[in-house]
């Protein structure tokens, strides 16, 4: 509970794969990660941010994230987000946030119809979010993706709105790996406290893992969570 190590809840759904990696990476950012089981109905006391990790919750049956969004913990996450709480969804977590209506749009099958697992280059479009405060405008980040359903799409009106309201935070730079509309790799909600991204920052927080660039995202989140914690005390 010390404000120096903000408590960040990492939700484990049935089929989550990256919950432990996310927790490890957050700890490396001087946060205090806490794994929270999907069947819980409340977030731990003092939670300053929530991460929905990657994986294949419920086997991706129906659509990625479609079933996980009905997990008991999601009610608490939705309330937390509505109150302005910080929520980051990574990969499957992004899909869950879209299905839950906490983020706009939807992630459909990759244009190639194949599972893609490799490093991609991202461009940072905004640095005024709690998830990118440590980044520079237009900074390039090298972060891996690994997904089947990463192709962000929505109605034409929605896509126009996302541009107008400046909700696109991360775009694929150079090659678009999955056919995503407007090269979208990460978006925030209108209020800016909920972000979803397909690339996995938690798999890129150390040069030994191929790239340290994911730390820009997770350390930004830890900073913002630290401020939230300080405000809570």
Partner 1 sequence: MKATVHVRPKAGIKDPQGEAVRGSLAKSGFDIVSVRIGRVVDIELETADREKAQAELEQMSHDLLANPLVESYEIELLEES
Q: Identify whether 200 is a catalytic site residue.
A: yes
Q: Identify whether 117 is a catalytic site residue.
A: no
Half-sphere exposure of 204 (CA within 13 A, CB side): 22
Among 15, 46, 179, 210, binds partner 1 (CB under 8 A): 179
Kindly calculate the radius of gyration of the chain based on its CA atoms and give it in whole angstroms.
Answer: 16
Give the shortest CB-165-to-partner 1 separation in angstroms: 17
Selected range binding partner 1 among 26-34, 102-110, 116-124, 191-199, rule: CB under 8 A: 102-110
* 67 near partner 1, judged by CB under 8 A: yes
Unique residue bearing structure tokens 């541009």: 163
Do residues 176 and 183 touch, judged by C-beta distance below 8 A? yes
* 1 near partner 1, judged by CB under 8 A: no
* 105 near partner 1, judged by CB under 8 A: yes
Do residues 18 and 53 touch, judged by C-beta distance below 8 A? yes
Cβ proximity to partner 1: between 70 and 115 the closer is 70
- Tokens for 89, please give them: 């969804």
* 155 near partner 1, judged by CB under 8 A: yes
The catalytic position among 32, 38, 91, 203 is 91
Taking the C-alpha atoms of residue 195 and residue 189, their distance in angstroms, rounded to an integer, is: 7
Cβ proximity to partner 1: between 99 and 223 the closer is 99
Taking the C-alpha atoms of residue 132 and residue 225, their distance in angstroms, rounded to an integer, is: 13
* 106 near partner 1, judged by CB under 8 A: yes
Give the shortest CB-106-to-partner 1 separation in angstroms: 5
Ramachandran class of 192: left when φ > 0, alpha when ψ lies in -120 to 50, beta otherwise:
left
For β-strands 140-147 and 116-124, DSSP reports them as antiparallel
Within 125-154, the residues that bind partner 1 by CB under 8 A are 151, 153-154
Nearest to 115 by CA among 77, 151, 168: 151
Task: Find all residues with CB under 8 Å of 101, minimum gap 6, and list them.
Answer: none
Selected range binding partner 1 among 20-28, 104-112, 194-202, 204-212, rule: CB under 8 A: 104-112
Q: Identify whether 135 is a catalytic site residue.
A: no
Which residues are annotated as catalytic?
91, 200, 202
Which residues make up the interface to partner 1 (CB under 8 A)?
Answer: 62-63, 66-67, 70, 99, 105-106, 108-113, 151, 153-156, 158, 179
């Amino acid at each position: 509970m010390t404000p120096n190590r903000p408590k960040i809840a990492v939700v484990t759904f049935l089929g989550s794969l990256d919950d432990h990696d996310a927790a490890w990476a957050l700890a490396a950012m001087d946060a205090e990660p806490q794994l929270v089981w999907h069947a819980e109905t409340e977030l731990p006391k003092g939670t300053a941010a929530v991460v929905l990790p990657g994986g294949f919750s419920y086997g991706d049956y129906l659509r990625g994230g479609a079933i996980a969004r009905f997990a008991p913990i999601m009610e608490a996450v939705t309330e937390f987000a509505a109150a302005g709480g910080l929520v980051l969804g990574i990969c499957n977590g992004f899909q869950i946030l879209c299905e839950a209506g906490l983020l706009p749009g939807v992630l459909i099958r990759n244009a190639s119809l194949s599972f893609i697992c490799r490093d991609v280059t991202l461009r940072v479009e905004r640095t005024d979010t709690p998830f990118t405060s440590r980044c520079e405008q237009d900074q390039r980040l090298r972060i891996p993706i690994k997904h089947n359903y990463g192709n962000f799409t929505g109605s034409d009106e929605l896509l126009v709105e996302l541009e107008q309201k400046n909700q696109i935070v991360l775009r694929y730079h150079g090659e678009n790996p999955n056919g995503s509309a407007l090269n979208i790799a990460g978006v925030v909600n209108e209020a800016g406290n909920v972000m979803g991204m397909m690339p996995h920052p938690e798999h890129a927080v150390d040069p030994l893992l191929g790239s340290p660039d994911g730390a820009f995202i997770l350390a930004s989140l830890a900073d913002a969570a630290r401020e939230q914690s300080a405000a809570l005390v």
